[in-house]
């Protein structure tokens, strides 16, 4: 798998509450990174967690069906 910095980037436009944008901006400034990079990291971590949950629930369903 390519490293994050080697992957092609695309524009993802989404509507978020103003308070979330403010919090995202604050955390990006505190870390010295762009909001875009921080959002990418948050989405990546969140998606990995969801994918792991899906694998676990799929395993449980498969095991119960046997």
What per-residue confidence (pLDDT) applies to 65? 53
Helices (H), 1-66: 18-31, 35-65
| Domain coordinates in residue numbering, the chain | 18-65
Predicted confidence band at 34 (pLDDT cuts at 50, 70, 90)? very high
For CA atoms 41, 43, 45, 51, the dihedral sign is negative
What per-residue confidence (pLDDT) applies to 1? 54
Query: Coil, helix or strand for 13?
Result: coil
Q: Cβ(63)–Cβ(52) under 8 Å?
A: no
Predicted confidence band at 10 (pLDDT cuts at 50, 70, 90)? very high
Higher pLDDT, 51 or 1: 51
What per-residue confidence (pLDDT) applies to 57? 85
């Amino acid at each position: 798998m390519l490293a994050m910095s080697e992957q092609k980037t695309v524009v993802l436009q989404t509507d978020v509450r103003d308070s979330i944008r403010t919090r995202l901006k604050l955390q990006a400034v505190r870390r010295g990174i762009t909001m875009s990079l921080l959002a990418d990291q948050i989405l990546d971590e969140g998606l990995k967690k969801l994918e792991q949950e899906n694998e676990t629930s799929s395993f449980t369903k498969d095991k119960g069906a046997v």
